[in-house]
Amino acid sequence: MVKIKFGSAAELAGYKGKEVAVSDWLTVSQKMIDDFAEATHDHQWIHVDPERAASDSPFGATVAHGFLTLSLLPYFVNDSIDLGPSRLGVNYGLNRLRFTAPVRVDSRLRARFVLSDLQNIDGGVQMVWAVTIECEGSDKPVLVAEWLGRRYI
C-alpha cells in the first residue's frame, strides 16, 4: 500500500464523505497481546494463557484486548496517511466505538478511514474519521468507531 500524502490536514476537505485510505495489514502476535496485558495490568487468561484459551475459550485461542485493537488506530492512520507538517497532532476522543468481533492471536488486521467531517478550529483542524478495522478472512469487522483527531498548524 502506498501512503497517501497531503500538504496539510486542511487539504483533506475534498475527501469529506469519502474513503481516504486503507492501511497495510498488521499481525497481532501473542507477544503484542502479552505486552499490552503487562502495560495495562489486564492479565485475564483469555488474553495471556494460550493453553487455557485453547480448551476453555469459545474462541479456541487467546484474543487481543479490545483496547489493544483500539490503541492501534494511531499506527494505522500514520501508516496510511501523511497529513503534512504540523506543530502537533492529538487524539480528541471517540463519539462512537464498538468491538464487533474478537481478534484471535495471529490475526491480520487493517483499517479503513472515511473522512466524515473536517472542521476548522483555533490553530488547526479537527478530523472526524469513520474507522473500520477488518480482520483478514472475516466478513465482519472487529472494530467500528467514529474517531476525532486534531492537527495544529
The CATH number of residue 126's host domain is 3.10.129.10
- 58, burial (CB in 10 Å: exposed 0-12, middle 13-18, buried 19+): exposed
Residue 47 within a domain: no
- How far apart are alpha carbons 69 and 102 in whole angstroms? 10
Give the pLDDT score at 118.
96
- 21, burial (CB in 10 Å: exposed 0-12, middle 13-18, buried 19+): buried
The β-bridge partners of 143 are 99, 133
pLDDT at 139 over 80: yes
In tens, the pLDDT along 61-99 reads 999 999 999 999 999 999 999 999 999 999 999 999 999
Residue 37 within a domain: no
- How far apart are alpha carbons 83 and 4 in whole angstroms? 8
> Residue ranges of the alpha helices (H) in 1-146?
30-40, 45-48, 50-56, 66-71, 73-80
Residue 76 in grid coordinates:
494505522
- How far apart are alpha carbons 4 and 33 in whole angstroms? 29
Residue 83 in grid coordinates:
497529513
- How far apart are alpha carbons 94 and 36 in whole angstroms? 21
Give the pLDDT score at 117.
97
Residue 128 within a domain: yes
pLDDT at 1 over 80: no
pLDDT at 101 over 80: yes
pLDDT band at 8 (very low <50, low <70, confident <90, very high): confident
- The residue segments making up the domain with residue 70 are 4-28+64-152
What pTM did the predictor assign?
A: 0.94
What percentage of the chain carries pLDDT values higher than 70?
99
Residue 21 within a domain: yes
Residue 43 within a domain: no
Neighbours of 90 (CB within 10 A): 12
Q: Average the pLDDT over 102-126 and give the result.
A: 97
Give the pLDDT score at 10.
86
Q: What are phi and psi of 78, to 5 degrees?
A: -70, -25
Residue 70 within a domain: yes
